[in-house]
């Protein structure tokens, strides 16, 4: 594959006509001219432009045939034949881009997948939040001490000084190098079997990683930075740049849906991002919060299903359940996480639709960032190993508990007779979550 513009995917044969590149370039420029939320203000725009130019000449990190393979797998998830497990760090950091850390995170994902498959017989498609998850959207512009907030290692540093928090475009080059290194390690560790993903947030970086791909019926843009990209809750404005850029790219796309999304808005997204009704092209990631999911999600699922698009329904049970502990840590309680998952499964069971997957912030390391779970992590335990650069992750034990709980939920769906698309039964019994009920499924150690 060769980069865009003026370059084409190797498998596409000769470089495409300049007219195609010009058309794509124009559409991309129009998309990028729209308002873009959560972008840094580079203090020296010329320096930023020079960095972006260098990024445009970097080799791609993923290959189009790998992305195409993932698209096929996601189609099978959308058809209800497989389950999607996506997870990893909230914010990857340069300093933690080590083989030890990546191994631990890939190991926990793989163990979770084993739990799910062995309990249900359903094939699991794994996607790591890895090799590029360096940009973070934030709710506030400044932190408690009045400094600009940390926005991910690709933009600034966690270090609490004015200089370290100033956006530095050179960091995009470091991020690109780290992502390439991480992908090499992932390929070594997983022998080519992993897919990687990150939030498509920082548009200067994402734009420089786009390639023209003429493999399909028409030339499309494809990202050489990840197999799967998602649009976050804070950047999903319908008239904004992120949605417009995502429309142009061939990679499978995820879209986070928070509780303010109406069924009508969900259908608008689906029509924009899945114009050809391609099963699995779009993954709708609901992150409603455990107290809202049972009320807010059903009409969305119904309306999108009635529109005829076959999306992947995925639940992110983390981002709607974040709170501040009394001792000042950003945390989440495992009970709330599993309750949102239970609600998600209840909704899909009631509607006869496929609860296609989960998207979780996890690490294979023994951190103390989320509360609860079998080990009973309490607020007083949080300072011991609170290591995340942004949001709290489930540790290895909590992640496996979660996988067992999801396996149990999935088993009931697999065993239940599938209702027709219109089949609606919202007279649901609430699933009893937690720990005591979790069945023990053996986990292979790698």
The reply to whether 336 sits near ligand PEP by the rule CB under 6 A is no
In the bound state with ligand PEP, the residue whose beta carbon lies nearer, of 287 and 404, is 287
Q: How far apart are CA 129 and CA 91, in angstroms?
A: 9
Interface map 240-279 toward ligand PEP (x if CB under 6 A): ----------------x-----------------------
Q: Nearest to ligand E4P by Cβ — which residue? A: 139
Q: Is 138 in the site for ligand E4P (CB under 6 A)?
A: yes
**Min. distance of Cβ 4 from ligand PEP in angstroms?**
26
Contact 125, 85 (CB under 8 A): yes
Would the CA dihedral through 115, 109, 300, 391 be positive or negative? positive
Count, residues in the chain: 446
Distance CA 255, CA 197 (A): 13
Interface residues for ligand PEP in 272-311 (CB under 6 A)? Answer: 287
- Establish if 354 lies at the interface with ligand PEP (CB under 6 A): no
Six-digit token string for 84: 């999607």
Phi, psi dihedral angles at 46 (to 5 degrees): -70, -40
233 is in an annotated binding site: yes
Which of 24/389 has CB closer to ligand PEP? 389
* Residue 336 interacts with ligand E4P (CB under 6 A): yes or no: no
The continuous run of DSSP H or E covering 55 comes out as: helix 45-56
Residue list 62-121, contact with ligand E4P (CB under 6 A): 90
Any known ligand binding at 445?
A: no
What is the rounded CA–CA span in Å between residue 309 and residue 304?
7
What 22-25 contacts at long range (C-beta under 8 Å, 24+ apart), as own/partner pairs, is 24/212, 24/219, 24/221, 24/248
Query: CA torsion angle for 20, 199, 406, 75 (degrees, to 10)?
Result: 0
DSSP 376: T
Q: Residue 369, interface with ligand PEP (CB under 6 A)?
A: no
198 lines the binding site for ligand E4P (CB under 6 A): no
One residue of 16, 165, 281, 319 binding ligand PEP per CB under 6 A: 319
Name the one range near ligand E4P by CB under 6 A: 109-117, 134-142, 185-193, 374-382. 134-142
- Residue 332 as a binder of ligand PEP (CB under 6 A): the answer is no
Give the span between the Cα atoms of 239 and 147, in whole angstroms: 30
Among positions 172-191, residues that touch ligand E4P (CB under 6 A) are: none
Identify which range of 202-210, 229-237, 334-342, 410-418 contacts ligand PEP by CB under 6 A: 229-237
Token digits of residue 256: 């986070």
Q: What does the alpha-carbon distance between residue 223 and residue 65 come to, in Å, rounded to a whole number?
A: 12
The answer on whether 59 is annotated among ligand-binding residues is no
Q: Nearest to residue 334, comparing CAs of 315, 317, 314?
A: 317
What residue ranges bind ligand E4P (CB under 6 A)? Answer: 90, 136-140, 319, 390-391
Residues belonging to the binding site are: 90, 129, 233-234, 256, 287, 319, 361, 391
What residue ranges bind ligand PEP (CB under 6 A)? Answer: 90, 137, 199, 232-234, 256, 287, 316, 319
């Amino acid at each position: 594959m060769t980069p865009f513009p003026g370059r084409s995917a190797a498998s596409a044969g000769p470089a495409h006509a300049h007219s195609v590149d010009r058309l794509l370039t124009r559409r991309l420029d129009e998309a990028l001219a729209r308002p873009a939320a959560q972008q840094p203000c580079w203090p020296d725009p010329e320096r930023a432009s020079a960095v972006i130019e260098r990024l445009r000449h970097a080799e791609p990190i993923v290959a189009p045939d790998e992305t195409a393979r993932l698209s096929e797998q996601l189609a099978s998830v959308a058809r209800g034949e497989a389950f999607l497990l996506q997870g990893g760090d909230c914010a990857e950091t340069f300093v933690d881009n080590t083989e030890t850390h990546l191994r631990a995170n890939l190991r926990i994902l793989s163990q979770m997948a084993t739990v799910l498959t062995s309990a249900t017989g359903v094939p699991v498609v794994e996607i790591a939040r890895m090799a590029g998850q360096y940009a973070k959207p934030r709710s506030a512009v400044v932190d408690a001490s009045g400094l600009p907030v940390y926005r991910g290692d690709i933009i600034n540093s966690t270090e609490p000084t004015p200089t370290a928090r100033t956006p530095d475009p050179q960091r995009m080059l470091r991020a690109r190098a780290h992502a390439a290194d991480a992908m090499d390690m992932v390929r070594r560790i997983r022998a080519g079997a992993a897919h990687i993903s990150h939030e498509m947030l920082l548009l200067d970086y994402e734009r420089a990683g786009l390639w023209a791909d003429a493999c399909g019926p028409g030339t499309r843009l494809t990202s050489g930075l990840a197999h799967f990209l998602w649009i976050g809750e804070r950047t999903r404005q319908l008239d904004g740049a992120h949605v417009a850029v995502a429309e142009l790219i061939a990679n499978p796309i995820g879209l986070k849906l928070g509780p303010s999304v109406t069924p009508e808005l969900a259908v608008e997204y689906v029509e924009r991002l899945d114009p050809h009704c391609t099963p699995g092209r779009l993954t709708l990631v609901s992150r409603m919060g455990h107290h809202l999911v049972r009320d807010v999600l059903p009409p969305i699922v119904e309306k999108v299903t009635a529109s005829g698009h076959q999306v992947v329904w995925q639940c992110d049970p983390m981002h709607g359940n974040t709170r501040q502990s009394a001792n000042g840590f950003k945390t989440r309680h495992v009970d709330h996480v599993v309750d949102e998952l239970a609600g998600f499964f209840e909704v899909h069971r009631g509607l006869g639709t496929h609860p296609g997957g989960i998207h979780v912030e996890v690490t294979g390391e023994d951190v103390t960032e989320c509360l609860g779970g079998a080990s009973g992590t309490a607020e007083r335990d949080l300072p011991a190993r609170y290591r995340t650069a942004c949001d709290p992750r489930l540790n290895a034990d909590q992640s496996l508990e979660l996988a067992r709980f999801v396996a149990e939920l999935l088993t009931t769906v697999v065993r239940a007779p599938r209702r027709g698309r219109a089949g609606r039964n919202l007279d649901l019994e609430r699933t009893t979550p937690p720990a005591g009920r979790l069945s023990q499924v053996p986990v292979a150690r790698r």
